[in-house]
Structures are given as structure tokens and as C-alpha cells.
Amino acid sequence: MLLKVALRSLVRNKRRSLVTLATVAAGAAAMFSFRGFNTGLLNEYRKNAVHAHYGNGQVNTAGYRDKVLPKPWDAWIENPQEVLRTLLSLKGVEKVFPRLEFSALVSNGTRSLGARGTGIDGAAESEFFFTINIVEGQSLRAEPEGIVLGKGLAHSLDLKLGQRVTVLTNTVHGSLNGADFNVTGIFHTGSRELDDSFFQIQLPQAQRLMDTDKIEKISLGLRSHDDWPAVEKQVASTLPRLEATPFEILDKIYYQNSVDFLNAQYQIVRLIILFVVVLGIFNTATSSILERTQEFGMLRANGESKKEILSLIAIEGCIAAFLGAVAGLLIVWLSNVTFLKDGFFMPPGPGITRSFKTFIELHFSMAAESVLLTVAAGCLGSLLAAFKVLRMSISQALRQAG
């Protein structure tokens, strides 16, 4: 009965109802699209971090990352082939990438610069690390004497494809060692720290330069990043001397801080949107309720309680808010699958030197959250508007409207 009366009241004043629907639709659309934008942006951040540098996470010897060691190679991973086979047997692990990082001098024959080198399995990494963005030449792949340089490092040394470059470093025994390489590629990750100082060579070459058969760490490529907690537990149980660290911790400054910032920003924006929705519904509901003061007075004179009238007003507000929210969500969804389907470019973010494409990613959980919050805001706004009238006595309500 109350539902029928509520629907009749909404239809009775179409103009006011449309204003309410438009207010709620705008609020729900803003909340839904902003959440989808944040999700798409963070997923692009994650994809760039995972597929440009870290993988889904890394495995080191226990405590290696938390200590400053005078001889770090003493804590590198021994018997790497056996460890790699064990990691590949774990559920959820699809790829393993042994790595060895070291400090070096890179020279073009006339000028030398300090840099950070990484020995990698070029053939294995070329497919997984696809956001490293090779701007000239090609990735390392199977070239035994190849070297791939960051764009800034190559520019500083004025190096071009095919030129020879010398890498000098200290071995684990303290002696100086060096080797010549051919520039096969130049990459641009968008991270200035990487582009200005990093280079890659084949892992066997790095081990020869360092005079060791150990590896420093192993990056993991998972079936899905959601598998990480289970993989981390498996590593702890099967390889107790090692520990696994997710990329969120490895890239805390860039990725995790961005996640925390955008989530906090969304909480604030959501509060502002809900306040606007409550205020908008309160204004329109107040006008409607004041015009219906006599109606409410007659209902109370006929035996209806204040609670029943409040329920009627709340139902009206909820219906209007629900319809408005659904309309707003449909507008956002239609926009996203039509003129926003190819995404859009964002300017460089903190720590990035190139623009990137992102998408608005919409999920059912976001839609449910937007609808529930706007319906709650609609009910609250309607109830706040009703309190003034319901505080009147029956005789006052009848006289006020008369």
C-alpha cells in the first residue's frame, strides 16, 4: 500500500521528480565514473611496474633486502637452477626470471658514466616484460654480446644502435673486470631513474663479469597477481632460506603510494558527492512536503502514525534515488562502451617522463556501491525534510495548508 502511494506521489509532480532524478543521477554517475577511473589508472600503474621491471614479485634470500651488507654476494642465491625448478613447480607460478644486478662504469671510449646493470635471461624476459618500451632496436632476446640501454643513459653517452660499449665492474673477489658489448636496443620505461642509469646484458655475461655462478634474485611471473599470497606461503614452506616480496613493496614509492593517495582522494570526493545528493534531495523534498502538509495532517487525523508517514516519505526518497542512480550508471556505462572505449591519454604522473593510455574500468561492485550510497543519501535527505512537518500537531498541519 505504501509503495503504491509513494509511486503515485512521484508521478503527481513530474517536474520536481525529474529534478530529483537528475540530481541523484549526476551524483551516482560522478561516483561510479571516478571509481572506475581510479581503478583503470591503478591497473595501468600495476601493469607498467609488473611488466617493465619487477614482475609480480621477487625472491631473495631471507633478510637480504632489509640489510646493508659489506659483501652482498655472500647472501646471493646459490644453486640457482635447482631453485628455479622448485619455483616453477609452485601453483600459480608461470615464469621465473633469474637476475643479477651490479654497479658498473659504462664507457663509449671517450666518456664513462656510473650505471646499474642487470644480467637477465633475455629470451625469457622479452615476452613478459613488454612495457619496457623499446624505442630503438630490439630487446635483448638471445643476442649473447648485446646490451640494452636506458634512453637517458644512451643519450648521455651519445650511443647509437650497433656501436660498441665497454662495461667495467669489480668482481666478487675485488678485482677489476670488463667486457665489450654491442648496443642492440634502447628502452624508455617512463621512469627517469631507470632510463638514466640502467642497462641490461645477458645473465651469463653478468656472472662472468662478477666472477660468480650465483644470482641475486628471481622475478616471478604469475598466472594472476591475485595468486601472490598463496605463492608467498608456498615459497616460505618449500624454500625456507628464501623470502618472496610482492611488487607493491618493491615499488612502494611509485605504486603503493599512488594507491594510498588515490583511495584517500576517492573517499573525500565520495563524501562531497553524497553531501550534494543529500542537499539536493532535501531541497526538492522540502518543497514537496510543505505543499503536502494538509495531506499529511489528514492522514494523521485518519489514524496514520508519524512512523507510517515517515516510512511513506522514506520510500518515495528511496525510489527516486534508486531510479536516478540507475539512470546515472547507465549513462556512464554507455559512454564508456562508445566514445571512451579506446581509452584516453594521461599526462606523465609523478616519477614518469612519458604519457600513457588508461581506461575507465567499471565493475559490478562499483555499481552496487554507487546505488546503495545514493539510495541511502536519498532516504536521508527525504527524512530530514519531513521532520519539520511531522513536528506539527494535526490541527497546525491542517491549518497551515488550508
pLDDT single digits (tens) 82-91? 999 999 999 9
* Average pLDDT of the chain to the nearest whole number: 85
What average pLDDT does this structure show over 171-177?
Answer: 92
Q: What is d(CA 281, CA 17) in angstroms, rounded to the nearest whole number?
A: 10
Torsion of CA 346, 351, 352, 357, to 10 degrees: -30
Q: What is the pLDDT of residue 323?
A: 87
Is residue 106 within a helix (H) or strand (E), and if so which, with residue range? strand 93-107
Buried b (16+ CB within 10 A) or exposed e, 286-319: bebbeebbeebbebbeeeeeeeebeebbbbbbbb
Q: What is the pLDDT of residue 402?
A: 46
The answer to whether 211 and 173 have CB atoms below 8 angstroms apart is: yes
Phi-psi map region of 348: left, alpha, beta (phi>0 left; psi -120 to 50 alpha): beta
pTM for this model (two decimals): 0.76
What average pLDDT does this structure show over 136-152?
Answer: 90
What average pLDDT does this structure show over 233-239?
Answer: 94
Q: What is the pLDDT of residue 401?
A: 46
Which residues on adjacent β-strands are paired with residue 104? 115
Range with lowest mean pLDDT among 100-109, 160-169, 267-276? 267-276
The answer to whether 186 and 154 have CB atoms below 8 angstroms apart is: yes
